[in-house]
Amino acid sequence: MSLPEPVRPEPGAFLLEEIREQPAALRRLLAHEAEFADVAAAARRSGRTLVRLVAHGSSDNAASYGVYAFGLLPGWTALRDSISLTVYSGARLDLTGSCVLALSQSGQTPDVVDYVQRARAAGALTVAVTNDPDSELGQAAEAVLPLAAGPERSIAATKTYSSSVAALALLAAHASGRSREFADGIARVADLIDEALPALEGRVGELAVTFAYVGRMFVIGRGTELPTAREVALKLLETCRVAAEPMTATAFAHGPVAALDALFPVWAVAARDENLAAVAEAVARARAAGAGVVATGSAAAELDATYRLPTPEPPLPLLSPLLSILPGQLFAWALARAKGLDPDRPQRLAKVTLAR
């Protein structure tokens, strides 16, 4: 008797499932708040208020958010440090005043682990931010902040990205004495995502069919939404084969706008903050060049865009990226399917990058 063929999931089923799991992942992260309090207290006691963030891919996009979180909350200097300078070029830096935050979903990226080992030997307080506390990275660092996002079966990261952003916000909030406010804010964001996802899913499905021809795109944002622009561009690159380039709304005017035409659309991320005017100006330039514009974020309705995918107003402005990433994640999923691709299995990519 022949056995029945195993049921194969629909293309992109895992990615969509993990996008939908983000609220639950954020709530699980909050259950580990004590670890965040301990790390923030250790950094304050030791005077290590120079934060060095190291990561690759989606984790690096989250790290770029950390520059804003630590700068705006405790007023600490945070930077995305060069892994190459230390690991490959052999620079010997004095890191005694630094707190190193190494972000890796898997905790297995060799040069991130190597950087942490070197940084610890050079006097830094080293912290792993990972979905696998028992990984090589978790063992190399002095402290571990678990993302608690659960297994990711799709190669393209979604819930580990948003959990990394929330982790950096929560750690910065603890460092600034605003932990309760931000923990409550993240919990509220989880509820808002649950409420917003069904309508967004329906709208991006329609939009993806319209954009099935797209092979290139600019993705613009500014301030705390520049990390969102970077992550949306990465999702489009890896799942849809779209040559998407992220940039600030101001950099957009210095050359890139000259490349636009009716077949070169723009994705604009807009929050209702001090950067909105610059994003609105960039959108106006894109429209004048004949490009279609998709506006997303809490201030999407205030832009002169061709299409709008607004997201809810965040309870705290700094938490806006947890909501503004949703349309981009869903659009990448839907556009890949519209192009006949499987967004769960991008060509030539693996879940864990082990090669140096």
d(CA 199, CA 160) in angstroms, rounded, equals 23
Considering its fold, how many domains does the chain have in total?
2
Contact 138, 130 (CB under 8 A): yes
310 and 203 within one domain: yes
Arithmetic mean of pLDDT, 276-301: 94
pLDDT of residue 258: 78
Furthest-apart CA atoms within the chain: distance in Å: 70
Residue of 258, 241, 208 whose CA lies nearest to 348: 241
The number of CA neighbours under 13 Å toward the Cβ of 319 is 23
Q: What is the pLDDT of residues 89-107, one digit of tens each?
A: 999 888 999 999 999 999 9
164 and 117 within one domain: yes
Does residue 256 surpass a pLDDT of 60?
Answer: yes
CATH number at residue 221: 3.40.50.10490
pLDDT of residue 263: 86
Whether 332 is in a domain gets the answer: yes
Q: Which of 159, 235, 339, 351 is catalytic?
A: 351
40 and 142 within one domain: yes
330 and 211 within one domain: yes
Among 19-23, 153-157, 327-331, which is the least confidently predicted range?
153-157
Arithmetic mean of pLDDT, 50-67: 97
Q: 162, 186, 210: which is the final residue of a domain?
A: 186
Whether 191 is in a domain gets the answer: no
In the 8-state DSSP scheme, what is residue 225? Answer: G
d(CA 21, CA 304) in angstroms, rounded, equals 32
Q: What is the pLDDT of residues 6-56, one digit of tens each?
A: 555 787 789 999 999 999 999 999 999 999 999 999 999 999 999 999 999
Q: Which residues span the domain enclosing 117?
A: 13-186
Does residue 356 surpass a pLDDT of 50?
Answer: no
Q: What is the pLDDT of residues 161-181, one digit of tens each?
A: 999 999 999 999 999 999 999
159 and 301 within one domain: no
Contact 177, 36 (CB under 8 A): no
pLDDT of residue 3: 52
Whether 352 is in a domain gets the answer: no
221 and 173 within one domain: no
Neighbours of 115 (CB within 10 A): 27
Does residue 354 surpass a pLDDT of 60?
Answer: no
Q: 186, 210, 243: which is the final residue of a domain?
A: 186
d(CA 312, CA 198) in angstroms, rounded, equals 13
d(CA 283, CA 252) in angstroms, rounded, equals 10
With both helix axes pointing from N to C terminus, report the angle between 33-46 and 159-176 in degrees, rounded to the nearest 10. 50
pLDDT of residue 355: 45
Residue of 96, 161, 95 whose CA lies nearest to 322: 161
The number of CA neighbours under 13 Å toward the Cβ of 265 is 20
Q: What is the pLDDT of residues 206-252, one digit of tens each?
A: 899 999 989 999 999 999 999 999 999 999 999 999 999 999 999 98
222 and 320 within one domain: yes
Active-site residue flag, 351: yes
Q: Which two tokens stand for residue 27?
A: 């709530």
Q: What is the pLDDT of residues 181-207, one digit of tens each?
A: 999 999 999 999 999 999 999 999 889
Does residue 276 surpass a pLDDT of 70?
Answer: yes
Whether 7 is in a domain gets the answer: no
331 and 213 within one domain: yes
203 and 76 within one domain: no
Which pLDDT band, with edges at 50, 70 and 90, does 132 fall under?
very high
Does residue 326 surpass a pLDDT of 90?
Answer: yes
Does residue 351 surpass a pLDDT of 80?
Answer: no
pLDDT of residue 4: 53
Distance from the Cα of residue 110 to its chain's centroid: 21
List beta partners, residue 269: 296
